[in-house]
């Protein structure tokens, strides 16, 4: 079942009744809106004047609904996750924490190869020569010791947004970096939600290591999915209105969890594909498999 994504950009009072999310807008004379909590996958809270009850938070967490809050720049800055995401959580975390260094290096090799391959497939759709990217994808070694991931990313973005003066991929760079930042934040929440549901710790990565980062594993596993966000941003850029991250653009970016992607030869919504990826990752940690399932662009 595809879960719904709700975006709240105005003052609102959010509560619950009869397993429903109840929405009241104090500035509007409307009857309260109700949505079944079981249908919700993601809720984005942007306006600082939103009030949400503890009873609703409890039910959202129990439903594994990702609650995302935004900062003063209207960018996602936090993600509410359950303490218990899987019935076998302790055992699954133990397998994750005991993963050997060679296994982690192999998993990162698979991840980087899949990311670069997807970047090449994305660019080829615009008629670009992607021989370098495809060659780099085939040259990634265990642990990506030669840093093909960064080399490929720089080359990829140089071509993808070649028509935009002064563009380079930088969080504080010129637009559409603002759109990419927002889209990646949504993708990160999707990944973290799937990891928790699969009984793993989003903070313990296979490559990313930063004591200030609570989502190192999410940052690892989302890498091959980034080109799908890039593709949506490229479509928005081609429509001409992308300098400001306005409400309409945010709504478009919030469709990311429901985007169709192809994984293991089958099409499915991105949020469903991500769950398949995280479950396959656990199988690798547990010694059941040696292959992580990633989508193909």
* Three-state secondary structure string covering 83-128: CCCCCCHHHHHHHHHCCCHHHHHHHHHHHHHHHHHHHHHHHHCCCC
Q: Quick one: pLDDT band at residue 51, thresholds 50, 70, 90?
A: very high
Contact 207, 150 (CB under 8 A): no
pLDDT tens track for 90-139: 899 999 999 999 999 999 999 999 999 999 999 999 889 999 999 999 99
Ordered DSSP codes for 214-277: TTHHHHHHTGGGHHHHHHHHHHHHHTT--SS--HHHHHHHTTGGG-EEEETTEEEEHHHHHHHH
Q: What is the per-residue pLDDT for 149?
A: 95
pTM, two decimals, is: 0.89
Residue 85 has pLDDT above 70, yes or no: no
Give the whole-number percent of the chain exceeding pLDDT 70: 99
Q: What is the per-residue pLDDT for 70?
A: 86
Q: What is the per-residue pLDDT for 88?
A: 80
Binding-site residues for Mn(2+), in ranges, read 149, 208, 223
- CATH 1.20.120.920 given to domain 89-296: yes
The whole-number average pLDDT for the span 215-233 is: 95
Q: Quick one: pLDDT band at residue 214, thresholds 50, 70, 90?
A: confident
Mean pLDDT over all residues of the chain? 91
Q: Which of 245, 183, 193 is nearest to 215 (CA)?
A: 193
pLDDT tens track for 177-208: 999 999 999 999 899 989 988 999 999 999 98
Helix axes 226-238, 101-124, angle to 10 degrees: 20
CA angle in degrees (0–180, nearest 5) for 121-266-134: 20
Domain ranges, ordered by start, for the chain: 4-80, 89-296
Binding-site residues, in ranges, read 149, 208, 223
Strands 295-296, 260-263: pairing kind: antiparallel
Secondary structure (3-state) at 44:
strand
Question: Do you find a cis peptide bond into 176, omega within 30 degrees of 0?
Answer: yes
Residue 1 has pLDDT above 70, yes or no: no
Sheet holding 76-80, edge to edge: 4-8, 40-45, 66-70, 76-80
Q: Domain 4-80 is in which class?
A: alpha beta
pLDDT tens track for 21-31: 999 988 777 78
């Amino acid at each position: 079942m595809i879960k719904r994504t709700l975006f709240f950009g105005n003052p609102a009072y959010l509560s619950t009744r009869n397993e429903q999310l109840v929405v009241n807008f104090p500035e509007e004379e409307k009857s309260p809106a109700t949505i079944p909590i079981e249908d919700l996958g993601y809720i984005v809270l942007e306006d600082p004047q939103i009030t949400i009850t503890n009873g609703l938070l409890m039910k959202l967490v129990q439903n594994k609904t990702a609650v995302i809050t935004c900062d003063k720049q209207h960018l996602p800055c936090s993600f509410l996750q359950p303490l218990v995401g899987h019935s076998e959580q302790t055992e699954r975390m133990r397998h994750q924490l005991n993963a050997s260094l060679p296994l982690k290096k192999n998993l990162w090799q698979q991840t980087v190869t899949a990311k670069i391959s997807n970047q090449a497939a994305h660019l080829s759709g615009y008629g670009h020569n992607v021989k370098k990217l495809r060659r780099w994808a085939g040259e990634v070694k265990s642990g990506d010791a030669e840093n093909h991931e960064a080399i490929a990313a720089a080359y990829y973005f140089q071509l993808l947004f070649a028509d935009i003066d002064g563009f380079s991929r930088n969080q504080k760079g010129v637009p559409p970096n603002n759109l990419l930042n927002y889209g990646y934040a949504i993708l990160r929440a999707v990944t973290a939600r799937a990891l928790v549901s699969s009984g793993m710790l989003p903070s313990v990565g296979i490559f990313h290591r930063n004591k200030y980062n609570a989502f190192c594993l999410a940052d690892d596993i989302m890498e091959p999915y980034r080109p799908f966000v890039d593709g949506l941003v490229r479509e928005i850029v081609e429509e001409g209105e992308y300098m400001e991250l306005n409400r309409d653009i945010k709504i478009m970016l919030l469709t990311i969890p429901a985007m169709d992607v192809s994984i293991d030869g089958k099409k499915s919504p991105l949020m469903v594909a991500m769950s398949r990826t995280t479950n396959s990752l656990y199988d690798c940690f547990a010694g059941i498999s040696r292959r992580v399932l990633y989508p193909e662009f």
